[in-house]
A and B are shown apart, each in its own frame.
Chain A
Amino acid sequence: MNAPAQDKNAGSELDLDLVAVERVVAGDNAAFEDIVRRWQGPLINMAWRYTRDRGRAEELAQEVFLRAWRNLPSWRGDAKFSSWLFALAANLFRTELKRYPTVTAPIDSIPEPAASTELESEFLNASEQDSVRRAVLALPMRYREPMLLFYFHEMDLAQTSRTLKIPEGTLKARLSRGRDILRRRFPALEHTGNKPIMANLKEEVAR
C-alpha cells in the first residue's frame, strides 16, 4: 500500500469514526455498532498481546468498548479516534493486569531455542516464537508495555508514545532496554539481525 493511499484510507476511516461518534452522542446507540465492528479486531489483538488468553482478551476488549461508549462525549476529535481508543484500552489493560496479573513464568525459566546456529539464517519456529512473545510478558511493566504497544502499532514510535503518554526519547530508551533483556535471554536473536538493535528505531525516527 503506498503512502497517499494509506493516508486516504486513514482519512476516510477517521470520517467514518467521526460520523458514528456524532450519531452516538446524538442518542443513536445503534451507530456504535459501526465502531465496534471496525475496531473489535485491533482491540482484541491488543488485549491478546497483554494477556495471551483469548477469553480474557475478549472480555477486556468488551470492557474497553463499554468505557468508550460511556466516555464518547469526551473525545473532542482533536486526536485520531484510534489514538483515543487505544489510550483508553492501554489504561484499562494496565489497571486490570495489576488487579489480576497474567500468569507468567519468570523470564529465566522460559526455554531458550536450542539450535541457535541454524537460526542464524532462518527465523525461529512457531513454538520458539511463542516463547519469545511470552517472554515479553515476563518483562517489568515499564519495558513490557512499550514493547507490546510498539509492535502492535506496527513499530510506530509516535503512535506508541501517544498511547503511553510518554516522550519518544523515554520510549526509545525503554524499548532498547527491553530488547536487551530479551536478547540476553535468547542469544539466538542477537546474531540473526544484519543491523544493530537501534537501526530500526533510527530508521523509524527518520521516517
Chain B
Amino acid sequence: MNNDFKTRPDNTLDHVLATEEPLVPSSGFAASVMERITDEAVRAHKPIKFPWRRVLPGMILLVPGLAYMVLQLVKTLIAASATQAEPSAPFIATAIALNPQYLQMLLWLAAAAALTFITWRITQRLVGLR
C-alpha cells in the first residue's frame, strides 16, 4: 500500500476505495493451481498415439496400388531395354518418352509431396516446435 496516501486520507472516496481489507487466499489455493499445472504439463508431454485403426485400412488399400506401380515400372524397364533407347538418357525421361501419362503422374506425386511437407510444417508451428 502506498504509505504516503495512507497517512493522508484527506478524501473519503480515495480512502474507501484504497483501504480495503485484503482477502487471504484459501489454504489449498496454491496447491490446486500447481495440481492443474502438473496435469496440463503431463498432458502436453504425453505423445499422441499413432492412429493405427484409421490408418491401417488406407495402408491395406495402398498395397495393391504400390504393387501395380512396381509392376508397371518393371514392365517399362523391360520395354526400355527391349527398344534399346539411348543408353545415356535418364530412366524417367525414357519412361516419359514411352508413356506421356507418366509426366502427369509425376506432377501429381510432386504436388502430393509438397502438400504433405506444407501440412507437416504448419503442424510443427502450431505445436510450437518450429
Say if the beta carbon of A58 comes within 8 Å of chain B.
yes
The 0/1 profile, CB within 8 Å of B marked 1, for residues 41-55 of chain A is: 100110011000010
What chain A residues lie within 8 Å of B16 (beta carbons)?
A: 123-124, 129, 132-133, 189
Q: A40-B30, A62-B32 are in contact. Are A29 and B37 (CB under 8 A)?
A: yes
Residue tally, chain B, CB below 8 Å to A: 31
Within 55-77 of B, Cβ neighbours of A (below 8 Å) are at: none
Q: A123-B12, A132-B13 are in contact. Are A62 and B25 (CB under 8 A)?
A: no
Kindly list the 8 A-B residue pairs having the minimum CB-CB distance in the complex, ordered from nearest: A193-B11, A154-B2, A192-B12, A151-B17, A40-B25, A151-B18, A189-B13, A36-B30
Q: A66-B37, A129-B16 are in contact. Are A193 and B10 (CB under 8 A)?
A: yes
CB B67 to nearest CB in A, in angstroms, measures: 47
B25 touches A41 (CB 8 A): yes
Across the interface, name the chain A residue whose C-beta is closest to B5.
A155
Measured CB to CB, the residues of B under 8 A from A are 1-5, 9-18, 20, 22-26, 29-30, 32-34, 36-38, 40-41
Kindly state the separation between the CA atoms of A86 and B18 in the bound complex, as whole angstroms.
Answer: 17
Looking at A1, A192, A197, the one whose CB has the most chain B CB atoms below 10 A away is A192
Across the interface, name the chain A residue whose C-beta is closest to B38.
A29
B25 touches A44 (CB 8 A): yes
Across the interface, name the chain A residue whose C-beta is closest to B6.
A154
For the complex with contacts A1-B3, A62-B33, A151-B18, 19 further pairs of A-B residues with Cβ separation under 8 Å are: A36-B30, A40-B30, A41-B25, A45-B20, A61-B29, A62-B29, A65-B37, A119-B12, A129-B16, A132-B16, A133-B17, A154-B1, A154-B18, A156-B2, A182-B13, A186-B13, A193-B11, A193-B12, A195-B11
Kindly state the separation between the CA atoms of A36 and B33 in the bound complex, as whole angstroms.
Answer: 8
Q: A44-B23, A45-B22, A54-B23 are in contact. Are A124 and B41 (CB under 8 A)?
A: no
B17 touches A58 (CB 8 A): no
Across the interface, name the chain A residue whose C-beta is closest to B22.
A45
B29 touches A44 (CB 8 A): yes
Say if the beta carbon of A85 comes within 8 Å of chain B.
no
Selected contact of B15 from candidates A37, A123, A195, A207, CB within 8 Å: A123
Say if the beta carbon of A57 comes within 8 Å of chain B.
yes
CB B5 to nearest CB in A, in angstroms, measures: 6
What chain B residues lie within 8 Å of A197 (beta carbons)?
A: 11
The 0/1 profile, CB within 8 Å of B marked 1, for residues 90-126 of chain A is: 0000000000000000000000000000010001100
A66 touches B13 (CB 8 A): no
What chain A residues lie within 8 Å of B2 (beta carbons)?
A: 154-156
Across the interface, name the chain B residue whose C-beta is closest to A40.
B25
Kindly state the separation between the CA atoms of A182 and B16 in the bound complex, as whole angstroms.
Answer: 12
CB A2 to nearest CB in B, in angstroms, measures: 9
What chain B residues lie within 8 Å of A36 (beta carbons)?
A: 29-30, 33-34
